[in-house]
Amino acid sequence: MMMQTEVIENIKFGILSPETARSISVVKLSVPDTYNEDGYPIEGGLLDQKMGVIDPGLLCKTCGARAKSCPGHFGRIELVRPAIHSEFSKVIYMILQSTCRNCHRLLLNDEHIAEYRNVLAKLEEDSVDIVESSGEEEAVAMGSAAMLKKLKNMKKCERCGTLKGKLKFSAPTYFYVDDYKLKPDEIRDLLAKISNDDLQVLGIDARASRPEWLIISVLLVPPVNVRPSITLESGERSEDDLTHKLVDIMRINLRLEQNLNAGAPQIIIDDLWELLQYHITTYFNNETASIPPARHRSGRALKTLAQRLKGKEGRFRYNLSGKRVNYSARTVISVDPNVDLDEVGVPFAIASKLTVPFYVTAWNIEKARELLTRSEYPMVTNVISKDGKRKRVIDLNREELIKELAVGDILERQLMDGDITLFNRQPSLHRVSIMSHKAKVLSGKTFRMNYCVTAPYNADFDGDEMNLHVPQNLEAQAEAKYLMSPQYQIFSPRDGDAIITNNEDGITGMYLLTKDDNYLTKEQAVYILSIAGVYELPKANKNGLYSGKEVFSALIPEGMNFSCRSGGAPFVIKNGRLVEGVVTKDTYGRGNNKLLVKLGKDYGYDRLKKFLFVSSKVADAYVTLMGVTVGVKEYTTSKKLEDERVRLLQETFVKINKLIDDYKARKLEPLLGYTLRESLERMIIAELNLVRDRAGETLLKYESSENSAVEMARSGSRGSILNIEQMTMFLGQQATLSGGRIRRGYYTNRVLPHIVPGDIRPGARGFVATCYYSGLAPTDLFMHAVGSRGSEVYKALLTARSGYLYRRLSNALQDYSVDSDFSVRDANNNMAQVVYGGDMVNPIYTQFMDLEEEEEKG
Amino acid sequence: MPSKSDHELVPVHEIMSDKDVKELFKTFNITIDNLPKIFESDVQAKKLEAKPGQVLKIYRREGKREYPYYRAVIDG
């Protein structure tokens, strides 16, 4: 194949001159209309066939090609009176401000001009050294900005001494000198007289863009295929918005011409001229500030040139940056615990649309024929022959295609169970936002996933949608399978903690199962173990019951030895049996999780994945069996607990009152580095924190394991003791963002009018002694709302800010990779680190290393 | 007066010999442009009187670990 060897070095944008516009246009348009009565494009009209054709079958009158191959040709409208290009009016204003209207030179004399040229040259030179090339233009822009500012404020021409007069610019296209309105042709004449050299000082390359070209006298009309007309079902033709706008321009242009020829009074001419200017302004940008947008007959604003390009739905972001991907699918996600961690349930409708290439070889051609014969799922949808021709398989040509099938062909086969796919949820913030899953074709309309993999995707099932991609060659499939499978992503590259784990109900279930003195009947044990795929019962105790710990032991590898702490107590596995301890979030959930690290390190990722999958099913089944639920019952307090609450608060208030009294009597011993008042405040806060912690302890003491909320908090699956405390005992201190107590409100130094001015006791400064169950007093509710609002606002600001910070960081680092010699380099082979991290340690394995060390120590 | 560069947290800097530099470039298959930079006016470069074009070897420490780092001296 011939290679294109030319390389584009740079692109320069300039302004279109009337001469260029004339020379690149193929037709001068004169009729402000589209079709004649016969429905045929009018010659010299806006759909003149010289500008190309859109109806299939017709030939372009310029190049003779059909609609598909004709690139389209420009036409032009000769304006009888020029109009200002509104998008450039700021530039025009700048030039008018900087030049003399008498001598048509820059307002500066030669000396000053030379001075500025020197400054510019110097800036240009300096910038080359510091930054490579790109900084140059910036520095020049900085230098010229200063000069432009000076020019703007000059009152008088340094050359001929002419006063500049009061120049006023009124958006979008009006210019006044001492209240006289400059007409576009007058502005054009002024601009035309400025020399190229003077323009260079202003930063304008006159060879590419003469300023007078900013005033339009020849309007270039885009080809028909840029603004195609569509035929409605009723047979009616509907024109593109651009065509509508161009019709408007031509109509006014024609009327202006007729009036000029008829010698109409100036006022009428000016009105029409202004109308022409309006149409041209809105033709370029229908969202130009301070003028009403041009509207369609229906009242909808027209979508003109700027609107086509601009914004999220514009050409750049929508069509160019946002291309659509083949072999992909998107739908709502939902859970299915029976789908493995490295699987994804694919709806049948999607599986029958997506295809996987099947490479025909001498060894599988029989299988290929067999596949090709099929007329229902899983079938071949396309055959790509060796020469790259793609043929759709239909009932009519199937026989023929089977006959022609040869080694080297590629069949496109419908997606089947076990095919490698990539599964993705946006925003793709880190590498585990895209992982490879094996397809599992299911009925229904949603993608099904295991809930253990929700954490890396940050997915939930309240309507989240996810994307699925099918890698289209063996290399991609292999890479996806061996690098991107969830089992290889269980440990985070951030710190080596497990990120793919069981959670919530899964932890509750395991906790309940492995609790001390928890026994299952034979039926229950058989049911639970059958779900795990274990068909051997462990030893029963003397009552014929099976301990939950034994059931859990059936899920872990034989002969495993391990110990750590779980829920503040030892957790010991000896010879493959859980002999002591309860499974909690410390051993089973996300975060610093030694059990999973042990499994991954000693038994491999596949065994770990199996453990997660099987145990999550077991935990689910068990929690369903037990029925964990939360209701009002969880939050009713016993008499004893209520008494305890009152006592605790009473004690604290007494202590605090004493502190305050001491303070008033100046007897308080200040803390080191704090004033007396600050010390008091800190002591009060410390007391209030203490009472909160003590309330939590009391709560744990008095609440039984019957209480589901407490059980969930204990296992770490959901909620904390603090949450329950707030519901059954008291809400505690409501803090402000700065961490202090709430104190702002009235100038009399009180938060609410219900409070005595200057009161600094807990209740007056946002300590809420009531709980959700008992109900909040209005003042308490207010304090609570202050705290809630603070944290809500903080959260919103924090996520927005930190999200963007992270994005910038990850984008800046995305090219860095660890080389085969363990050096870190970017895409240009620039060295960042000689040895990765200084020690070649991959953070994923840090937990492995720690565990290893621990085990060696014994 | 003790100098900033005597502080225990400042790693040892030294100018590499031309031979060592050549070897460094060869082992890592790089040129001097691919190395991280250090200004001639940097405290450490000044102290060693390093000139642009030379390469500094820095003995970095992180806890118990020690590893070398290289910086090309540049103008400025």
Q: Which residues of B touch A838 (CB under 8 A)?
A: 60, 62, 65, 67
Mutate to test the interface with B, among A834, A836, A846 (most CBs of B within 10 A): A834
* pLDDT, chain A, mean: 89
Please state the rounded mean pLDDT for residues A88-99: 87
**Among chain B residues, CA nearest to A129:** B75
Q: What are the residues facing A83 on neighbouring strands?
A: A216
Residue type, A156: K
d(Cα B45, Cα B48) in Å, to the nearest integer? 5
The verdict on B41 touching A (C-beta cutoff 8 Å) is no
Indicate yes or no: CB of B67 within 8 angstroms of CB of A835.
yes
Alpha helices in A389-460 (DSSP H): 398-404, 454-457
d(Cα A237, Cα A673) in Å, to the nearest integer? 83
**Among chain A residues, CA nearest to B60:** A838
Indicate yes or no: CB of A835 within 8 angstroms of CB of B62.
no
Look at chain A and count its residues: 858
Indicate yes or no: CB of A834 within 8 angstroms of CB of B29.
no
Q: Which residues of B touch A128 (CB under 8 A)?
A: none
Q: What is residue A125's predicted lDDT score, i.e. its pLDDT? A: 66
Domains of chain A: 88-211 (no CATH), 328-489 (2.40.40.20), 505-623 (1.10.274.100), 632-778 (1.10.132.30), 817-857 (no CATH)
Distance from CA of A13 to the nearest CA of B (A): 33
Q: What is residue A133's predicted lDDT score, i.e. its pLDDT? A: 46
d(Cα A575, Cα A560) in Å, to the nearest integer? 5
The Cα-based distances of A242 to A77, A96, A173, A224, A238 in angstroms read: 14, 31, 21, 10, 12
Residue A131, judged by CB atoms within 10 A of its CB (0-12, 13-18, 19+), counts as: exposed
d(Cα A497, Cα A706) in Å, to the nearest integer? 32
Residue A837 CB neighbours (<10 A): 15
Distance from CA of A601 to the nearest CA of B (A): 24
Please state the rounded mean pLDDT for residues A806-820: 89
Answer with the residue of higher pLDDT: A115 or A53. A53
Q: What are the residues facing A76 on neighbouring strands?
A: A28, A220
pLDDT in tens, A739-772: 789 888 888 889 999 999 989 999 999 999 999 9
Q: What is residue A137's predicted lDDT score, i.e. its pLDDT? A: 55
The Cα-based distances of A366 to A255, A358, A408, A413, A472 in angstroms read: 76, 12, 13, 15, 22
Per-residue confidence at A131, pLDDT binned at 50, 70, 90?
Answer: very low
Considering only A12-16, A26-30, A129-133, A412-416, which range has the smallest mean pLDDT? A129-133
Answer with the residue of higher pLDDT: A568 or A165. A568
Residue B62 CB neighbours (<10 A): 11
Please state the rounded mean pLDDT for residues A532-536: 90
Considering only A155-164, A425-434, A566-575, which range has the smallest mean pLDDT? A155-164
Nearest to A440 by CA among A470, A465, A416: A416
Indicate yes or no: CB of B28 within 8 angstroms of CB of A828.
no
- Return the axis-axis angle of helices A708-715 and A505-514, rounded to nearest 10°: 90
Residue B63 CB neighbours (<10 A): 7
Answer with the residue of higher pLDDT: A807 or A371. A371
Per-residue confidence at A1, pLDDT binned at 50, 70, 90?
Answer: low
- Report which secondary-structure segment, H or E, holds A257: helix A241-261
Percent over 70 (pLDDT), chain A: 97
Q: What is the DSSP string of A360-372?
A: --TTTHHHHHHHH
Residues 6+ apart with CB under 8 A from A659: A668, A680, A683, A684, A687
Q: What is the 3-state secondary structure (H, E, C) of A63-121?
A: CCCECCCCCCCEEEEEEEEEEECHHHHHHHHHHHHHECCCCCCECCCHHHHHHHHHHHH
pLDDT exceeds cutoff 90 at A157: no
Per-residue confidence at A114, pLDDT binned at 50, 70, 90?
Answer: confident
d(Cα A44, Cα A67) in Å, to the nearest integer? 19
Q: Which residues of A touch B21 (CB under 8 A)?
A: none
Do residues A281 and A86 make contact, with C-beta atoms less than 8 angstroms apart?
yes
The verdict on B28 touching A (C-beta cutoff 8 Å) is yes
Q: Which residues of B touch A816 (CB under 8 A)?
A: none
pLDDT in tens, A252-293: 999 999 999 998 899 999 999 999 999 999 999 998 888 888
Q: Which residues of A touch B59 (CB under 8 A)?
A: none
Per-residue confidence at A63, pLDDT binned at 50, 70, 90?
Answer: confident
Considering only A124-138, A141-155, A174-188, A778-792, which range has the smallest mean pLDDT? A124-138
Per-residue confidence at A132, pLDDT binned at 50, 70, 90?
Answer: very low
Query: Peptide bond preceding A757: is omega within 30 degrees of 0, i.e. cis?
Result: no
The Cα-based distances of B25 to A512, A617, A819, B30, B70 in angstroms read: 62, 56, 15, 5, 11
Indicate yes or no: CB of B60 within 8 angstroms of CB of A838.
yes
d(Cα A86, Cα A216) in Å, to the nearest integer? 10
Q: What is residue A324's predicted lDDT score, i.e. its pLDDT? A: 87
Q: Which residues of A touch B36 (CB under 8 A)?
A: 831-832
User: Which of B28, B60, B65 is facing A831, going by the closest CB pair?
Assistant: B28
The Cα-based distances of A612 to A198, A578, A580, A626, A848 in angstroms read: 75, 17, 21, 21, 18
Q: What are the residues facing A390 on neighbouring strands?
A: A384
Please state the rounded mean pLDDT for residues B21-34: 92
Indicate yes or no: CB of B65 within 8 angstroms of CB of A838.
yes
Considering only A110-124, A402-416, A586-600, which range has the smallest mean pLDDT? A110-124
Tell me the three state secondary structure of residue A231. Answer: strand
Q: Which residues of A touch B34 (CB under 8 A)?
A: 825, 828-831
Please state the rounded mean pLDDT for residues A413-439: 95
Mutate to test the interface with A, among B56, B67, B70 (most CBs of A within 10 A): B67
Indicate yes or no: CB of A838 within 8 angstroms of CB of B36.
no
pLDDT exceeds cutoff 90 at A455: yes
Pairing of strands B65-74, B37-39: parallel
Q: What is residue A381's predicted lDDT score, i.e. its pLDDT? A: 94
Query: ipTM score here?
Result: 0.90
Residues 6+ apart with CB under 8 A from A302: A241, A244, A245, A282, A286, A293, A294, A295, A296
Indicate yes or no: CB of B69 within 8 angstroms of CB of A829.
no
pLDDT exceeds cutoff 90 at A546: yes
Please state the rounded mean pLDDT for residues A638-663: 93
Q: What is the 3-state secondary structure (H, E, C) of A560-607?
A: CCEEEEECCEEEEEECCEEEECCCCHHHHCCECCHHHHHHHHHHCHHH
Indicate yes or no: CB of B62 within 8 angstroms of CB of A839.
yes
Please state the rounded mean pLDDT for residues A373-384: 93
Tell me the three state secondary structure of residue B2. Answer: coil
Q: What is residue B58's predicted lDDT score, i.e. its pLDDT? A: 93
pLDDT in tens, A224-246: 889 988 888 887 778 889 999 99
Nearest to A545 by CA among A537, A535, A534, A553: A537
pLDDT in tens, A331-370: 999 999 999 999 999 999 999 999 999 999 999 999 999 9
Q: Which two tokens stand for residue B45?
A: 């470069």
CATH 3.90.940.20 applies to domain B4-74: yes
Alpha helices in A703-777 (DSSP H): 708-715, 721-728
Distance from CA of A829 to the nearest CA of B (A): 6
d(Cα A48, Cα A29) in Å, to the nearest integer? 8
Residues 6+ apart with CB under 8 A from A554: A529, A532, A534, A536, A538
Q: Which residues of A touch B35 (CB under 8 A)?
A: 830-831
Alpha helices in B1-76 (DSSP H): 18-28, 43-48
User: Which of A829, A830, A839 is facing B67, going by the closest CB pair?
Assistant: A839
pLDDT exceeds cutoff 90 at A222: yes
The verdict on B75 touching A (C-beta cutoff 8 Å) is yes
d(Cα A512, Cα A711) in Å, to the nearest integer? 8
Q: Which residues of B touch A821 (CB under 8 A)?
A: 28
Indicate yes or no: CB of B70 within 8 angstroms of CB of A834.
yes
Any idea of the CA torsion for A174, A177, A181, A184, to the nearest 10 degrees? -60
pTM of structure: 0.75
Q: What is residue A280's predicted lDDT score, i.e. its pLDDT? A: 92
User: Which of B36, B60, B75 is facing A832, going by the closest CB pair?
Assistant: B36
d(Cα A246, Cα A77) in Å, to the nearest integer? 9
User: Which of A831, A835, A838 is facing B30, going by the closest CB pair?
Assistant: A831
Pairing of strands A465-469, A328-335: antiparallel
Indicate yes or no: CB of A834 within 8 angstroms of CB of B75.
no
Distance from CA of A342 to the nearest CA of B (A): 38
Query: Peptide bond preceding A18: is omega within 30 degrees of 0, i.e. cis?
Result: no
Residues 6+ apart with CB under 8 A from A318: A312
The verdict on B67 touching A (C-beta cutoff 8 Å) is yes
Domain ranges of chain B: 4-74
Tell me the three state secondary structure of residue A694. Answer: helix
Per-residue confidence at A2, pLDDT binned at 50, 70, 90?
Answer: low
Q: Which residues of B touch A832 (CB under 8 A)?
A: 36
Do residues A832 and A816 make contact, with C-beta atoms less than 8 angstroms apart?
yes
Q: What is residue B37's predicted lDDT score, i.e. its pLDDT? A: 93
Q: Which two tokens stand for residue A477?
A: 């499939």
**Among chain A residues, CA nearest to B61:** A838
